[in-house]
A and B are shown apart, each in its own frame.
Chain A
Amino acid sequence: MEGLEGTLAELRDTFKSGRTRSVAWRKSQLRAMIEFVQDNEEEIFKVLGQDMGKHPVEAYRDEVGIVAKSARLSLSCVEKWMAPRKGNIPLAFFPASAEVMPEPFGVVLIMGSWNFPISLTLDPLIGAISAGNVVVLKPSELSPACSSFLAETIPQYLDHKSIKVIEGGIDVCEQLLQQNWDKIFFTGSQRVGRIVMTAAAQHLTPVTLELGGKSPAILDSSSNPANMKVIAKRIVAAKWGSCSGQACIAIDYMLVEEKFASYLIDLLEKTIKQFFGENPRESKSLCKILNKNNFKRLLDLLKDPLIRAAVVSGGSVNEETMYIEPTILLNPPLDSQIMTEEIFGPLLPIITLNNIHDSIEFISSRPKPLVIYAFTRDETFKKQILSKTSSGGVTFNDTLIQFACDSLPFGGVGQSGFGRYHGKYSFDTFSHEKAILQRRFFPELEPRYPPWNDFKFQFIKLLYAFNYIGLLLLLLGLKK
């Protein structure tokens, strides 16, 4: 793909010209981004409907709205974010000034995902632009309508000399990954995350990996019964109400006390009916399964007779329409695939425990998830969850909404990834924080230089230890 080398060379030249570094350029692009989503809202709804069967409400909530909000925030804050931050200097180094100045990395690669094909490409893009970089955007080929739309429409709004959209499949990704980027931002699976980081290692390219994992939801029976209806809504919304469970922050599985299980299942079933009607297959509020591969993968999770036996609600499928009914399972075997792999689909295992506090051990003995949800009023339990488990983030008494909170860093830890974004964190993730120390010629400290003698030795030792009293005594001839 010689075109690629040429494209990159062009981007490098653009970056070198300094064009993307001015406040004016960054703001103009952010404004253009806002215009882009506003002007093309209906079209975006259309392509999301085509690729994912996403309803406009979901499409707005999780995609258009997120992008518009990010762009607006960055527009109002970018100048502030760009400003150098002063640092304190020990007296020993006076006179001097120290500051940290953010600067763009240069030429960055953003690889988007198929489940939120608009927001997971454009939200990082906003960060890259705010930080002053030039960008190659690689939307996922698994959401082709969105990918095409971005490829066609972005150049109409954004500076095409600095921001390029490159479409394609695995072979294009491979070629992209061989290039020398100044930063790679990847959203996707752990398997591909490894490939991306291994490729990045060849060029020492820093990476942010937004991956996934099995995000659990703990439901404590201390939760007020009056709130159970809302809790059930939030659980159902976090499983089937966002891309039909095909989301990194979807609830993967639930942990409840044994005595609670049947009550919960009952409540969930009622809520599912409330949300999706008697026949969820006909609901326009339920996204579809992405494609045959994913459908087959999910079917395989249900294949095993032990798993089938654990299905307590739903479970029907239609291979022609690639439809899987919202399905709840009760205590599938813990070593089964459905309990060891990220589900990423409309199947919800519920695991019962004798005591809800056992959920801490359950979760911490497994790979670190992107998020832990916990419904509880027990303040001690909350503290224990925070201190004894590790995850990208924790949300108490709700689901999904942490994604919309700009002041919280969004990212994983361990197998769920590293690096973070949203709000100012997006700006930071695409910036190098350059340390700057300014010194003066006067005054000059003679004892800094060889040839060494005892006095100089003492002087420097005391100076670097910030022992000012000792230094004074030395200078007054009172210290040996």
Chain B
Amino acid sequence: MATEEEKQTVFDVEAANMLTKELRDVFASGKTRSYEWRISQLKSMIKMCDEHEEDIVDALHQDLSKPKLESIVYEITMLKNSCTLAIKELKQWMMPEKAKTSLLTFPSSAEIVPEPLGVVLIISAWNYPFLLSLDPLVGAIAAGNAMVLKPSEFSPATSSLLAKLLPEYLDISSIKVVEGAVSETSALLEQKWDKIFYTGNGIVGRIVMAAAAKHLTPVVLELGGKSPVVVDSGIDLQIATRRIIAGKWGCNNGQACVSPDYIITTKDCADKLVDSLKKELETFYGKNPLESKDLSRIVNSKHFSRLTKLLDEDKVSRKIVYGGERDEANLKICPTILVDVPCDSLIMKEEIFGPLLPILIVSKIEDSFDMINSGTKPLAAYLFTNNKKLKEQFVVSVSAGGVVINDIAMHLAIHTLPFGGVGESGTGSYHGKFSFDAFSHKKAVLYRSFMGDAALRYPPYTRGKLRLMKAFMTSNFWNILRALLGRS
């Protein structure tokens, strides 16, 4: 147990340096590389979730007023699933993969051997502070690394809880938690890591990558963007609406990287859509959503101000068709729908990350594709339609981290799909085996023998060798034969 004095010790560059050195020694000892170690850590993590479910739910409630269901399902259950999958498949993931060899290297055999990168840094976010800290950790552990976790300071209760629980359940010598804010993060970023995994926004993402560049450290950046939802006509509007609401306000009240940021639809759809949204929102959250217990609050006053500023911009405030109410004392903003906001308004320029949903109108639904592609690539893009051709066009022409047709955000829960961004929404991916891969180096191994050593490989070089070389490299048996007979 740290004393008050110890807790207040500044975590500076020197401390960060010592920490990474310590972890390097532990990694060098080979401790984290055994199958047994990895399995034991993953099993402990499940145990930790089971034994402290209440504490986790409480912390998330403190940080975000997160409804119990969201905490249990979208944070704890998702994490446990990750652990369970990794435990089930780890042996297979750790096995070398045989690679084919060609005539060119005959006789030979080849394989690709996964190995841990070494000492990795995981920087987490505040919106799913439990899941986004531990899910990458699962990958790093499964791949056999030593690691530092830096939870977000904007979710302090969860950060504290992680700092307390991880040393109790996991191997404290190889898995460290460093709490803190900008200066602690900067101290960590000055160190040489074998990988940095960052979840957050593009501004800090750039800082992380630039810091990583100094040491040639590869990075995974899980960022965000404006994830659009295109709503076509001729669909079951009630179902679509409910899925949109569940994916937007039902996931941390819009404060999620894959949250539907804005909707694009046609004029005749828009009115019906707005009506349907209003109706379902009321069913879900009652007439007074500011008092609903099923909605997270806004994380802090900084974001609250940011969001109200988006709403209060002149050309935008009169576009509100539903909601708009706020409760500053409790950091709550009502689910709010806006229609036809100008494209150059603030709300359309930055990622909203909150309970505001603008709806943009286009004349033809296909125009939405160009609109989306004219902006930066989002983390997710959604389409609700029954039109097969539209689906195909959307999937091919809209570039995003991931695309979901006729639902919202579910691709996160499917471990056979890589989860990550592209362009401004990030680089790299994880979930399932992709997490293991993200924290591994795949080493290429070639086994050769001394049989049939070809003189043509070696100097002195001659034109005759050139003929033979060409024949071999085109792997054409007849050419080889002819060349050997001096005829090509």
Contacts and interface: CB of A to CB of B under 8 A. Distances in A.
Interface of A: 16, 18, 55-58, 60-61, 65-66, 68-69, 72, 87-90, 93, 96, 98, 100-101, 103, 105-106, 182, 190, 193-194, 197-198, 200-202, 204, 206, 209, 211, 224, 227, 230-231, 233, 236-237, 241, 275-277, 283-286, 364, 386-388, 390-398, 401-402, 404-410, 413-415, 417-420, 432-441, 444, 448-452, 456-457, 460-461, 464-466
B77 interface: yes
Contact of A276 (B99, B236, B460, B474): B460
Interface in B452-488: 453, 456-463, 465-466, 469-470, 473-475
Contacts of B427: 204, 206
Given A197-B209, A277-B460, A387-B33, 6 more contacts: A194-B213, A230-B450, A283-B460, A394-B443, A441-B235, A452-B69
A115 to B, nearest CB: 17
A389 B97 CA distance: 18
Given A101-B395, A392-B444, A408-B446, A464 B77 contact: yes
B286 interface: yes
A461 B373 CA distance: 37
Nearest to A89: B414
A56 B422 CA distance: 42
A386 B407 CA distance: 45
A93 B443 contact: no
B448 interface: yes
A194 B214 contact: yes
Contacts of A449: 242, 245-246, 250, 280, 283-284
B448 A408 contact: no
Contacts of A461: 69, 72-73, 77
B284 A451 contact: yes
Contacts of A398: 108, 446, 448
Interface SS of chain A: mixed
Interface SS of chain B: mixed
B417 interface: yes
Given A204-B206, A390-B443, A440-B406, A407 B99 contact: yes
Contact of A438 (B78, B406, B419, B426): B406
Interface string B31-74: 00100000000000000000000000000000000011100111
B294 A451 contact: yes
B411 interface: yes
B403 A436 contact: yes
B202 A204 contact: yes
A404 B113 CA distance: 18
B417 A98 contact: yes
Interface of B: 28, 30, 33, 67-69, 72-74, 77-78, 80-81, 99-102, 104-105, 108, 110, 112-113, 115, 117-118, 194, 202, 205-206, 209-210, 212-214, 216, 218, 221, 223, 235-236, 239-240, 242-243, 245-246, 250, 280, 283-286, 292, 294, 373, 386, 391, 395-397, 399-407, 410-411, 413-414, 416-419, 422-424, 426-429, 441-450, 453, 456-463, 465-466, 469-470, 473-475
Contact of B457 (A227, A237, A388, A397): A237
B60 to A, nearest CB: 15
Given A233-B458, A404-B104, A437 B418 contact: no
Contact of A405 (B67, B401, B446, B463): B446
Query: Which A-B residue pairs are the 3 nearest by beta carbons?
Result: A87-B416, A285-B459, A57-B461
A395 B444 CA distance: 8
Contact of B105 (A88, A404, A457): A404
Contacts of A417: 216
